[in-house]
A and B are shown apart, each in its own frame.
Chain A
Amino acid sequence: MMDLDFTEQEQAFRAECRAWLEANVPKQSLPSGDTREGYALHLEWERKLFDAGWSCVSWPKEYGGREASLYEWLIFEEEYYRVQAPSRVTQNGIFLLAPTIFEFGTEAQKARILRPMARGDLSIAQAWSEPNSGSDLASLRSTAKRTEGGWLLTGQKTWSTRGAFSDMAYGLFRTDPSKARHKGLTYFLFPLTGEGVTVRGVDRLDGDEGFAELFLEDLFVPDENIIGEVDKGWEVAMATTSSERGLSLRSPGRFMATATRLIELYGRYRETCDPALRDQVIDAWMGAQAYRWYTFKSVTDMLTGKPIGAESSLNKVFWSEMDVRTHETALAILDERQCLDEGSAAADDEGAWIKGFQFALAGPIYAGTNEIQRNIAAQRVLGLPRG
């Protein structure tokens, strides 16, 4: 039977989240987690979150979670963004790497990685792209050569999110150069400090050092750092990218909170701003609501044995384009002052809208560009032929 109310247990869970978050979220917003200074402060917050059992609510208890259902995880996210808690600097680890480790990792890897990663004691960045391998990831050229007790990694990775501040990274390396493209790749965890690795921070569009280029030259990595089997890295990686596109990367709570802030902003300027903006504000609110219900339906589908699959490509296109439009609406409401950056005394909401706008513009690019997502949807959802 369809039931779109939350159960008593789910409501109690929400009340518990809300009470803890309201009591513990820093009163003053932290500096951006994509800066060196802000990153350290965000890790302190992650530690507090973990120690209270709120870092990864859906994880098993033995790794610091509370075995919450997926619906409860979505409730946690709604509450988290509702109080504007700090952005999750651990997310590339806890949301993207962790599902892979749960599925493919050894017991030793789970024990070694999951808790420290979720607690912010071990920062792990993604390292998918290479300078010549973006959307066409399978064309990557970095290699791993056999050596005694492990492997020597050589090559260049780029757009590594928060790689400039992280301890380790995960990515794919060619272990069998005789095989082409998706074959002969292996999934490695590797250190970002020590001999054989150079990390260079890259300033993003908004000026934060949120990216890094990683240069590897005969970087030694022990066998225990391989996730899954040697030469089976593509299969392992695809499990992560589908969770990235699906639920875990962008839960509805974030967009619902943005829509609420937009309604507040509109309330401030409704008498003076262009009356046509009213409908755009309504559309932004509806978009967040639609994404919420779509997500709840997806979770029910998953839990009743209907995995999300390629439809997650349509989902990624929806939220990323919605986020851009929502920020564009906010900027239009702000009129000339939309250009004011962080640090300007006259900026509304401390310049959050122009900063958020720039970040929103990355949405249609990262986690597989929206062009690639549309190709995937056309070919795998609609069954159209490959071009």
Chain B
Amino acid sequence: MHFAFSEDQTLLRDTVRDVLAKECAPEVVRRVWTGSNEERVPVWGTLAENGFVGMAASEAAGGMSMSEVDLALVLEEAGYAALPGPIVESALAGLPLLEQLSAGTPHAAWVERVVSGEATLGLYFERQSLALHAPLADLLLVVRGDALYAVPRAEAGLVAQTAVDRATSVATLDYKPSPAHLVARGAAAQVAIQLAYERAALGNACVMVGLARRMLDLAVAYAKDREQFGKPIGAQQAVQHHLANAAGRIAFAQPVVYRAAWALANRDRAGGESRREAELAVSMAKIYAEEAARFVAKVALQVHGAIGYTIECDLHFFMKRVWTLAPFYGTAAVHRARIGAHIL
């Protein structure tokens, strides 16, 4: 038993943290909101150049064959910065899926484009009612039954919608499967698709933890600064207790999420038993992270008071990102049902 990240893993986290602090500051997110940013997804080029987008791809494809544990802290930082765009889908969930199933097909050419940052990926699982990051993503990986289709944006029948988080694009999809898009089908494809779902849920949980941390930091800074009755509001016990509760949610979500990353990275070490353990761990991570982020959002808003209820204040980027991303890859209710099926 040893429950800590390695020095390399925390160094990687520090690097991505620095990059995002410089290139994805709130004013950049604000420009994406208002549609005035030059890049559709800011920082993407820098992230790809530094190898962050291709982390999970094989070395042959220009990646680093990194695991869920390596990616967990990087994605948490993406959440902390409210990085717009399909980072979970491109870096963790979609890229290894595409690389594995497209080998020897014309679709394999996309892998290198994603690793280099030239193209981004979206994921659309069965029974999903909305495509996340579409129409922004260049290639949509669409699951139908036991088959995976790789669908260029223009051919997916997308109708753009407007999410409460304007920095995240969403669309409905009216897609008729075409043989030209088929990547793979059958039992092996299904296993890979299921793994991609687990990775997407885990990545989403990592982003939620990062968002929660950022909202708590904003609320604590505000509570130290804002004075009423002649002292900082953060000196009031009622405010302190709200913030302590928020800190507690994050403190307990983190080990649950990190443990899920480890369980997923080591899912095959003991056959069916360890795969079951990984599924349970991912579901717990999704629930703890989502509920922590939703809770911290409410606390942060309450502590900010009226200023938090405006779009002048940066807080809303982070809250609305939570509300937009949280239902994807299984709501807390879906994951509770999955746990219940295992343990009850």
List residues of chain A with CB under 8 Å of any chain B CB: 1-7, 10, 71, 263, 266-267, 270, 278-279, 281-283, 285-286, 289-291, 293-294, 296-297, 299-301, 304, 311, 313-315, 317-318, 371, 373-375, 377-379, 381-387
Q: Given A263-B344, A282-B340, A282-B343, are A385 and B224 neighbors across the interface (CB < 8 Å)?
A: yes
The residue of chain B having its C-beta at the shortest distance from the C-beta of A10 within the complex is B1
B66 CB–A CB distance under 8 Å:
no
- Distance, CA A301 to CA B269, complexed state (A): 25
B113 CB–A CB distance under 8 Å:
no
- Residues of A with C-beta under 8 A to B157: none
Interface residues of B in 297-332 (CB under 8 A from A): none
The answer to whether A6 and B1 touch across the interface, beta carbons within 8 angstroms, is: yes
Q: 26 A-B Cβ contacts within 8 A?
A: A1-B6, A2-B262, A3-B2, A267-B344, A279-B340, A282-B343, A286-B288, A289-B284, A294-B251, A294-B252, A296-B3, A297-B4, A318-B248, A318-B251, A318-B252, A371-B237, A374-B245, A377-B247, A377-B248, A381-B247, A382-B240, A384-B223, A384-B239, A384-B240, A385-B235, A387-B237
Q: Which 10 residue pairs spanning A and B have beta carbons closest together?
A: A378-B240, A374-B244, A384-B234, A377-B244, A300-B3, A314-B248, A293-B255, A297-B3, A385-B235, A297-B255
- Distance, CA A387 to CA B235, complexed state (A): 4
- Residues of B with C-beta under 8 A to A3: 1-2
The answer to whether B5 and A2 touch across the interface, beta carbons within 8 angstroms, is: yes
The residue of chain A having its C-beta at the shortest distance from the C-beta of B8 within the complex is A1
- Residues of B with C-beta under 8 A to A313: 244
The answer to whether B336 and A279 touch across the interface, beta carbons within 8 angstroms, is: yes
Q: Which of A270, A297, A300 has its CB near the most chain B CB atoms (within 10 A)? A: A297
- Distance, CA A377 to CA B243, complexed state (A): 9
B287 CB–A CB distance under 8 Å:
yes
Q: Which of B1, B220, B251 has its CB near the most chain A CB atoms (within 10 A)? A: B1
B80 CB–A CB distance under 8 Å:
no
The answer to whether B258 and A371 touch across the interface, beta carbons within 8 angstroms, is: no
Q: How far is the CB of A220 from chain B (nearest CB, A)?
A: 43
Q: How far is the CB of B239 from chain A (nearest CB, A)?
A: 8
- Residues of A with C-beta under 8 A to B6: 1-2
B183 CB–A CB distance under 8 Å:
no
The residue of chain B having its C-beta at the shortest distance from the C-beta of A283 within the complex is B336
- Distance, CA A317 to CA B269, complexed state (A): 35
The answer to whether A290 and B288 touch across the interface, beta carbons within 8 angstroms, is: yes
The answer to whether A317 and B234 touch across the interface, beta carbons within 8 angstroms, is: no
> Of A290, A296, A377, which is within 8 A of B252 by CB?
A290
The answer to whether A387 and B240 touch across the interface, beta carbons within 8 angstroms, is: yes
B153 CB–A CB distance under 8 Å:
no
- Residues of B with C-beta under 8 A to A71: 1
List residues of chain B with CB under 8 Å of any chain A CB: 1-6, 69, 216, 220, 223-224, 231-232, 234-237, 239-241, 243-245, 247-248, 251-252, 254-256, 258-259, 262-263, 266, 269, 284, 287-288, 336, 339-340, 343-344
Q: Given A266-B344, A278-B340, A282-B339, are A375 and B237 neighbors across the interface (CB < 8 Å)?
A: yes
- Distance, CA A6 to CA B262, complexed state (A): 14
The answer to whether A293 and B3 touch across the interface, beta carbons within 8 angstroms, is: yes
The answer to whether A383 and B4 touch across the interface, beta carbons within 8 angstroms, is: no
- Residues of A with C-beta under 8 A to B237: 371, 374-375, 387
- Residues of A with C-beta under 8 A to B287: 286
Q: How far is the CB of A12 from chain B (nearest CB, A)?
A: 14
- Residues of A with C-beta under 8 A to B224: 383-385
- Residues of A with C-beta under 8 A to B3: 2, 4, 293, 296-297, 299-300
Q: How far is the CB of B274 from chain A (nearest CB, A)?
A: 9
The answer to whether A2 and B336 touch across the interface, beta carbons within 8 angstroms, is: no
- Residues of B with C-beta under 8 A to A381: 244, 247
Q: Which of B234, B254, B287 has its CB near the most chain A CB atoms (within 10 A)? A: B234
- Distance, CA A293 to CA B259, complexed state (A): 7
Q: How far is the CB of A15 from chain B (nearest CB, A)?
A: 16
Q: How far is the CB of A181 from chain B (nearest CB, A)?
A: 20
- Distance, CA A313 to CA B2, complexed state (A): 23
The residue of chain A having its C-beta at the shortest distance from the C-beta of B288 within the complex is A290
- Residues of A with C-beta under 8 A to B239: 384
- Residues of B with C-beta under 8 A to A317: 244, 248
Q: How far is the CB of B177 from chain A (nearest CB, A)?
A: 36
- Residues of A with C-beta under 8 A to B245: 374
- Distance, CA A359 to CA B50, complexed state (A): 55
- Distance, CA A373 to CA B252, complexed state (A): 16
- Distance, CA A114 to CA B231, complexed state (A): 49
- Distance, CA A287 to CA B239, complexed state (A): 25
- Residues of B with C-beta under 8 A to A290: 252, 255-256, 284, 288
Q: How far is the CB of A84 from chain B (nearest CB, A)?
A: 19
- Distance, CA A3 to CA B249, complexed state (A): 24
- Distance, CA A31 to CA B100, complexed state (A): 61
- Distance, CA A315 to CA B243, complexed state (A): 15
- Distance, CA A279 to CA B333, complexed state (A): 9
The answer to whether A314 and B244 touch across the interface, beta carbons within 8 angstroms, is: yes
Q: How far is the CB of B12 from chain A (nearest CB, A)?
A: 14
- Residues of A with C-beta under 8 A to B2: 1-4, 300
- Distance, CA A285 to CA B239, complexed state (A): 30
- Distance, CA A311 to CA B254, complexed state (A): 14
- Distance, CA A159 to CA B252, complexed state (A): 31
- Residues of B with C-beta under 8 A to A383: 220, 224
The residue of chain B having its C-beta at the shortest distance from the C-beta of A296 within the complex is B3
- Distance, CA A10 to CA B2, complexed state (A): 12
Q: Given A2-B69, A4-B263, A263-B344, are A378 and B4 neighbors across the interface (CB < 8 Å)?
A: no
The residue of chain A having its C-beta at the shortest distance from the C-beta of B234 within the complex is A384
The residue of chain A having its C-beta at the shortest distance from the C-beta of B274 within the complex is A5
- Residues of A with C-beta under 8 A to B248: 314, 317-318, 377
The answer to whether B336 and A314 touch across the interface, beta carbons within 8 angstroms, is: no
The answer to whether B339 and A374 touch across the interface, beta carbons within 8 angstroms, is: no
The residue of chain A having its C-beta at the shortest distance from the C-beta of B217 within the complex is A382
- Residues of A with C-beta under 8 A to B336: 279, 282-283
The answer to whether A282 and B255 touch across the interface, beta carbons within 8 angstroms, is: no
- Distance, CA A278 to CA B339, complexed state (A): 11
> Of A7, A300, A382, which is within 8 A of B247 by CB?
A382
- Distance, CA A27 to CA B224, complexed state (A): 57
The answer to whether B344 and A281 touch across the interface, beta carbons within 8 angstroms, is: yes
- Distance, CA A297 to CA B3, complexed state (A): 5
